[in-house]
Structure 1
Amino acid sequence: MTPDWIAVDWGSSNVRAWAMGPDGAIASGSSDDGMGKLAKAEFEPALLRLIEPWLGSGVIPVIACGMVGAREGWHEAPYRSTPCTPIVSGELMPVPTTDQRIRMMIAPGLSQAKPADVMRGEETQVAGALALLPGFDGVFCLPGTHSKWVHVSAGEVISFQTFMTGEMFALLSQHSVLRHGMGGEGSDEASFAQGVSDAIERPERISARLFTLRAEGLLTTLPPAAARSRLSGMLIGLELAAAKPYWLGQRIALIGAEALSARYGLALTEQGAASETLDATACTLAGLAAARGVLQKAKP
């Protein structure tokens, strides 16, 4: 098997690769060789360990997005300034390689001057979403460790804003006093909705509401699933309150992991805002295909 080209999504924690044929992915692989674990000289060997079975005697283009293009990554791909299209196939950053069987290129991220903001990898998902939803005009929400709200019009990213919601949840649930009442992995939809409502109605009270979770755990044996869900709701509610200028009255599409996107969708529904959900991997592949200049709608 020899693919036409290879698509790579290289984040801080892991790397995923797909062998791409005329109709989409024909093989895939992944490893935990994320950007955060590698020195610059280790990126090419890490990539080759993943894609070696797909290489032949010719030269295969490899197009990557994500933190691989960061200053601390394999090769820095300078940010493109908004407003702009999320990806331009002619502006990929070429990367010198020792192995002559691959022609490595990295998609640049996007930057915004005021308020200062940056993204790497999400611009590729936005480009893919636009390929999957022709004529889309509105807002993409990309939930995650650092959630992003992206305003798109006429095929361009007009503005965007990042929220550290996922990281805050991890810190509070695992490293703060709240951790004592949040064991397990369960969820409670009613508690989540309550947290969203509390945050949107009285955001200035959230610091106090957070400690209430600890107090209720001590005094009323608040179930861990309810505590975790209410904390999640509070933090997502804070994000929605701050991002309201983005989503209010707009068409909204969510791009992310299924469970997390469902939570954002529920929170938006509670505020009377409808949303649709796109598969994150499908968006990544379609975006990398756009970077390659391929007109196909790449499938995972």
Structure 2
Amino acid sequence: MAAALPEEQGWAGSVLVVGDPTHWVQVSAGEIVSFQSFLTGRIARALGAAEALDADALNDTMTQPERLATHLRSAELADGNAVLGHLIGAELAATRAFWLGADIRLVGSGALADAYEAALRAQAALVTRV
């Protein structure tokens, strides 16, 4: 976690640690002020999700996160390509306070981290991969 934080005194922003589980850490003045974890990657694997992010699915679920289960069923019946987009969309809707207008440090590698980065950039979020 310390490696993800910039060296500047009093930094404020969020650190997104992509993995199983994924952690969102909100930092203010160098201190952790809020923390949330999600099982998005694990659920995506369990549902056989494609590794690529579907931007339409992301937007559909960000605007209507309460319809996540319906969106996942529709994606499953189609071909499963939209599953990851729906899951990340629901997570971004739930963590809006962590990333909206914030300086985000994304820690992670691989396809899942790439999908999170693409999703955040699609929302015009300021993301730095560390």
Structure-2-length-normalised TM-score: 0.87
The count of corresponding residues between Structure 1 and Structure 2 is 128
Q: Distance in 2 between matches of 1:246 and 1:153?
A: 11
Q: 1:125-204 alignment to 2 at 5 Å?
A: 126-130=1-5, 133-135=6-8, 136-173=11-48, 187-189=51-53, 192-204=54-66
Q: 1:171 Cα deviation (Å)?
A: 2.1
Please state if 1:210 is matched with 2:83. no
Query: Contact 1:169/1:232 (CA < 8 Å) preserved in 2?
Result: yes
Q: Distance in 2 between matches of 1:215 and 1:258?
A: 27
Q: Deviations over 1:242-265 (max 9, x none)?
A: 000111111111001143222111
Shift in CA distance, 258/214, structure 1 to aligned 2, threshold 3 Å: closer
Percentage of pairs with the same residue: 36
Shift in CA distance, 274/157, structure 1 to aligned 2, threshold 3 Å: same
Q: Distance in 1 between matches of 2:89 and 2:103?
A: 19
1:272 matched to which residue of 2?
124
Structure 1 residue runs of 4+, over 6 Å off?
Answer: none
Shift in CA distance, 187/157, structure 1 to aligned 2, threshold 3 Å: closer
Q: 1:216-231 alignment to 2 at 5 Å?
A: 216=78, 222=79, 227-228=80-81, 230-231=82-83
1:237 matched to which residue of 2?
89
Aligned partner letter, 1:127: A
Q: 1:166 Cα deviation (Å)?
A: 1.3
Q: Distance in 2 between matches of 1:213 and 1:244?
A: 24
In structure 2, the gaps of 5 or more residues are none
Please state if 1:259 is matched with 2:111. yes
SS of match in other structure, 1:275: strand
In structure 1, the gaps of 5 or more residues are 1-125, 174-181, 217-221, 279-300
Aligned partner letter, 1:148: H
Q: 1:142 Cα deviation (Å)?
A: 0.7
Structure-1-length-normalised TM-score: 0.40
Per chain length, whose mean CA-contact separation is higher, i.e. which structure has more relative contact order (CA < 8 Å, sep 6+)? 2
Query: Contact 2:41/2:112 (CA < 8 Å) preserved in 1?
Result: no
SS of match in other structure, 2:36: strand
- Higher CA-based Rg: 1
Q: Distance in 1 between matches of 2:58 and 2:37?
A: 19
Aligned-pair Cα RMSD in Å: 1.8
Q: Deviations over 1:33-61 (max 9, x none)?
A: xxxxxxxxxxxxxxxxxxxxxxxxxxxxx
Q: Distance in 1 between matches of 2:67 and 2:95?
A: 18
Q: Deviations over 1:103-124 (max 9, x none)?
A: xxxxxxxxxxxxxxxxxxxxxx
